[in-house]
Structure formats: C-alpha cells, structure tokens
A and B are shown apart, each in its own frame.
Chain A
Amino acid sequence: MEVTPDPATPTDSAGVRQRPPTPTWVKILAVVGVVALLLVIAALLSGGEHGPQRHSSQGVQPAPAVAVGAWR
C-alpha cells in the first residue's frame, strides 16, 4: 500500500519525508533552562553562598532544645 505523504511533513527533492524542525517554543525554553542552570552553578561556585550552609554561618549553631521537626 502506498503511503500518502502528509502535506504538513516537509519532503526533500527525492520525496523522502524530512523531520520537521524543532519548534521555536522548545528552543526558547531550552535557552531559558540552560541560563537558569548556569546561574545556579555560578551561585554554587561563588563561595558556596547558596544552600543550607548560609543559614548556619558565623559559627552560630541553633539550640536543639525545642521539639521542632518531629515530622522529619
């Protein structure tokens, strides 16, 4: 059975179907994702000022006296 070419699918000169190009919205989101990832990596590499350790800086240790975090 002959397969009828899909008019929405690009074909080359030999009539072979070509894969449609990547949609623009995918390219934009990919760039946004890479930029966000680079920003996170930069924040992590810039002296480790991102993350839980920043909240226990200055050598202050929270007192464990209060019963908090029973769900942990």
Chain B
Amino acid sequence: MAVTMSPGVRKAALCLHITCSVGWTGAVLTFLGLSLVALTTPDETTARAMYVAMDALAWTVLVPLAVASLVTGVVQSLGTVWGLTRHYWVVTKLAITVAATVVLVLYTQTLAGLADVAAARSGQDAHLLRSPSPLLHVVLALLMLLGATVLSVFKPRGLTARGWRLQQRARSA
C-alpha cells in the first residue's frame, strides 16, 4: 500500500518522526544516567529514588515516544517512495523499532517491580536495588536506536524480493 503525500505533508510527517525518534533516544540516555546512579551511588535513599524515577520515565516518556516513533515511521515509509517492505534498510529499521518497543513494554513490568521494592523501604529486598538489569537493558536499547539512526542516514542499498519485483514492473510499464 502506497499513499502519495504532498511535499508539505511529507516534510511535516518527517519532522514529527525525527522529533519522536530523537526524543526517544534522549529519554533512553536519561534512563542510562538514572540507572548508572542507581547502580553506583553509596546512598540507599538515592538509589531507591532512581528506581522510582526510572519507572515514571518509562511510563510517561519512553513508551509513548517509542510507540509514536513506530507509528510515524510506518506512516512516513508508506507515504513516500521508500515503501515499507521494498528496501532492506527500511525493513531492518522497522524490525529494530518493533523489537525495541516490545522489549520496552515488557520491561516496564520489571521496572514496576523494582520501583515497588524501592518504595517499600524494606531492608529485605535492598539487594535488588543494585540490579544491573536496567543498565544492561538501556545499553542494548541505545545500541539498537543508534543502529536505526545509522540506517536512516546511510540508507544502504538493497532491494527486497518485493521491491525488486515492483521495480521491474515499473520499468516494463
């Protein structure tokens, strides 16, 4: 399915997509800072606050921006000559975005559990507050988003089977 957008609408959609994607990356970097402080601070109260903040950040910023980035990216590809399944770089970027969004949404459950432990102020589960899990996940997320950014900028060549068929059909017409 290909919808032709006017140049003005295309530019507006591109601005929205870039804003959401850059915002997502910025939020991930913020999360990285919080997880680093949570893991390294000697002050237990500060560590507890970091987990509550990470949980809030995930629900209020990360998830909405991830979904917005995914939706605007699909709209952008369907409304331009790139299409959604014609070029390997578009398909790869879509796969990265879907995977990152799904893992993020699933990981919010873990964050909710950690935030509850942090807010409970119980000494029994204090060891969980030094979990490297948030740092590990956010580093992987950052690598995925950087990969998606590189694909967007370089747009490496390579047509999928469908893209090649469409190209041949267009040339024969």
When A56-B113, A62-B119, A68-B115 are in contact, do A23 and B59 touch as well, CB less than 8 Å? no
Query: Whole-angstrom distance between the alpha carbons of A67 and B55 in the complex?
Result: 13
Judge whether B55 and A68 touch: CB under 8 Å.
Answer: yes
Residues of A within 8 A of B164 (CB): 19-20
Residues of A within 8 A of B55 (CB): 68-69, 72
Residues of A within 8 A of B125 (CB): 60, 62
Judge whether A52 and B110 touch: CB under 8 Å.
Answer: yes
Judge whether A3 and B171 touch: CB under 8 Å.
Answer: yes
Residues 110-131 of B, flagged 1 when their CB comes within 8 A of A and 0 if not, give 1011111111111011001001
Judge whether A68 and B156 touch: CB under 8 Å.
Answer: no
B113: contacting residue among A3, A55, A71, CB under 8 A: A55
Q: Give the distance to chain A from B42, nearest Cβ to Cβ, in Å.
A: 22
Q: Give the distance to chain A from B173, nearest Cβ to Cβ, in Å.
A: 9
**A47 at interface, CB cutoff 8 A:** no
When A66-B119, A72-B59 are in contact, do A52 and B156 touch as well, CB less than 8 Å? no
A62: contacting residue among B52, B88, B120, B131, CB under 8 A: B120
Judge whether B161 and A63 touch: CB under 8 Å.
Answer: no
How many B residues touch A, CB cutoff 8 Å? 36
Judge whether A68 and B88 touch: CB under 8 Å.
Answer: no
A-side interface size class:
20 to 34
Judge whether A72 and B119 touch: CB under 8 Å.
Answer: no
Interface of chain A residues 1 through 59 with chain B (CB within 8 A) = 3, 6, 17, 19-20, 22-23, 25-26, 29, 33, 51-52, 55-56
When A19-B164, A23-B156, A63-B120 are in contact, do A69 and B113 touch as well, CB less than 8 Å? no
Judge whether B112 and A22 touch: CB under 8 Å.
Answer: no
Judge whether B88 and A55 touch: CB under 8 Å.
Answer: no
Residues of A within 8 A of B128 (CB): 55
When A66-B121, A68-B52, A68-B116 are in contact, do A26 and B92 touch as well, CB less than 8 Å? yes
Given contact pairs A60-B125, A62-B113, A62-B116, enumerate 18 new A-B contacts (beta carbons under 8 Å). A20-B158, A22-B88, A23-B88, A23-B157, A25-B156, A26-B88, A33-B95, A51-B110, A52-B110, A52-B113, A56-B113, A62-B119, A62-B125, A63-B121, A63-B122, A65-B120, A68-B52, A69-B112
B interface, CB within 8 angstroms of A = 52, 55-56, 59-60, 88, 92, 95, 106, 109-110, 112-122, 124-125, 128, 131, 133, 156-159, 161, 164, 168, 171-172
